[in-house]
Amino acid sequence: MGKRKCLILNSMTKDPRRTSLIRTKVLEIVSGFLVGGVAWFLRDVFFGGAQGLLLDPMVGVVIGLAWRNWILAACVASLFPFFGSSTNQFAEVGGLWMCVFITVALLRSVGEGGGIGLRGMILLPLATGVTLAGILFTQMLGGAVPFATGFGNRWAEQALGVMAISPLVARIGSDFLSQLNRRLFMTWVVLTALLMAVGSVASDPSLEPGTALALELLPVVILFWQAMRFGCVGATTACFLLAILSGLAWSDGNRILLAFPEGIFSTILTAIFGTAHGIGALRDERLETNMWTSQAAQAYQVVFWRWQKGRGVDWGDPERATSVGLERGGFGWRLCQGWSTDHKLPEPSRIEGRITIKVETPKGPCRWLEFSGSVYTQDSNQDPTTCLGVIVDVTSSHQAEEQRAKTLRREGELRAIRAQLQPHVVFNALNRIASLAMSEPESARDLIVRLSRLLRASLMAGEKDSVSLSEEVSLIQDCVALEGAGYGDRLKFHNEIPSDIEEKGLPPLALLSLVNGAIRRGVGMRKKGASIVLSMPQRGMFRVAVTPPVSTTEQSEFAPWPDPVWVERLSVETIRRARIEVQRQGEAVASADLVMER
């Protein structure tokens, strides 16, 4: 039994995760005790005056620790009212614990996860809603009537304490200190000395009230400047230092501050601090968005542009626009010197969809630029006044698509050659030729010519970009004649395309592959054979129909019909010329159409 207990203790002490968790919790308790103690014992020194407290740092510390997700530390810091002389110590501690609970619930509900990510906008519900609930809970525990006398002053003190203290407590750490660089620190050393000098001058009794009040507004201007210049870090440090300086002036009996009615100065400072934090949060969000946009634009070679009527084009990054060969020209854009293209650049105000243009660079290799945009604002005549869009360098993806198209094209050609060189096709044709050589020499000679012509066309297909309908139909007839040598009466083929119809621009071997696949899967897999009809339902559409339909579930040595390689090959061509459409009957393919793109 003793050995078993020893093993359990050893496993517990050797678990690094458990040790790390214990260390973290101890650190939280110590931090809560130290920070809470400093806030409790120095609040009267820094923020106490003849009219009471200017702000309550305790609730600021407690909410800041909860914001940081240091719940244990926040609960420990909340215990310091027990060291006070109040008769409602238990009620004050209960109110602070209520603030901890609501803060954690609020931050997790809005997606902050209890972390230290600072978004100044969240301060408003923390400083007003959370403190309101905490004060009401304190009054209920103390047996007082809700919203009793002194409620407004108490609420203003706690709201100001949250605005001044909570962001610093929540954010302080290595990340915060890394942003609090030497420049910002030295700026605040100078500004603190300046503010103390201004406060000293403003408190001079000989100074007229208007001048004194104007000097007192100088810290507010500096505060807003810090928020706009340094974001949340500047707003956090500025609000904390300004709160300390205001508290010292308050405790020293500054005549300007004491002239305000009780609680009004705290309310004014709360509004000022909230505005500063909001400015800082918006500035950080804007910079963060710009950073993400810039990184994405650099990674994907994207240039953002804006066109305004009467002004022209503005670039999101002029250097990146120059790197893809574009610059402002008149009320639109133009290629930089040395760049050229055979196409006309689209007008910014008339871009619809996506337009891809090939441009030649001064160094030789060409690049592909994709223009896209949309109308953002219009005038009363529905003419665009502002357009927004992007230009993307799609050279790499275009080259990859070209290479893929070439690969698929070669694969299609190889499949066509392989189909004609199938052993049973060649053997059947040769056997048929041998049997006709003596009795019907003209028929044997015809089969030889057809086989030679079909093989030549398959081998030479890669050298042609397109073929005419008559050329393709001629190859189909050769293929049917050769296949008929082996299948005999099982193959029933009908060509319903009028002979006087002429169509050009067909992809080589595309229509032949549909007929050949129909023969393989429709005739070759059925003892009774099948009927294949080649027709043209409408201009630019060529249909290969099989009766009965070709099953898609039967196992076969032949490729599916239509051949997926041909379907994909036609879909990835740089300039799409045709596509394959399928008509099904249940799980079988009844027909396949080669549809020309117009």
Domain ranges for the chain: 8-288, 301-393, 400-596
Whole-number pLDDT of residue 472 = 87
Q: Hey, what are 374's tokens?
A: 């949309």
Question: pLDDT tens, 557-566?
Answer: 777 888 887 7
314 neighbors 308 (Cβ within 8 angstroms): yes
Per-residue confidence band for 198, with pLDDT thresholds at 50, 70 and 90: low
**Average of pLDDT values for 324-332?**
86
Question: pLDDT tens, 502-514?
Answer: 888 888 888 888 8
List helix spans (H) across 49-130: 57-67, 71-77, 89-109, 123-124
The candidate with the shortest Cα–Cα distance to 436, out of 485, 491, 489, 480, is: 485
Four-CA torsion 134, 138, 141, 143, nearest 10 degrees: -130
Whole-number pLDDT of residue 280 = 83
Residue 224 pLDDT more than 50?
A: yes
Distance from the first to the final alpha carbon of the chain = 87
Helix crossing, 395-420 with 441-460: angle to 10°? Answer: 160
Summary count for the chain: helices (H), strands (E): 21, 15
- Other beta carbons less than 10 A from residue 487's beta carbon: 17
How would DSSP label each residue in 286-310?
A: HHHHHHHHHHHHHHHTEEEEEEETT
| Whole-number Cα distances in Å, 450 to 157, 288, 295, 423, 514 | 100, 69, 61, 17, 19
| Whole-number Cα distances in Å, 129 to 98, 123, 290, 508, 549 | 12, 10, 32, 74, 71
β-pairing, 384-393 vs 530-538, is unpaired
CA separation for the pair 148, 161 (Å, rounded): 21
146 neighbors 138 (Cβ within 8 angstroms): no
Residue 542 pLDDT more than 90?
A: yes
- 301-393 is a CATH 3.30.450 domain: yes
- Among 46-55, 177-186, 266-275, 290-299, the least confident range: 177-186
- Among 61-75, 102-116, 478-492, the least confident range: 102-116
Whole-number pLDDT of residue 147 = 79
- 400-596 is a CATH 3.30.565.10 domain: yes
**pTM of this structure:** 0.55
246 neighbors 54 (Cβ within 8 angstroms): yes
Whole-number pLDDT of residue 591 = 92
Whole-number pLDDT of residue 8 = 47
Query: Angle at Cα 486 formed by Cα 480 and Cα 487, nearest 5°?
Result: 75
Whole-number pLDDT of residue 475 = 84
CA separation for the pair 390, 407 (Å, rounded): 31
84 neighbors 78 (Cβ within 8 angstroms): no
Per-residue confidence band for 203, with pLDDT thresholds at 50, 70 and 90: low
Whole-number pLDDT of residue 116 = 37
CA separation for the pair 474, 483 (Å, rounded): 14
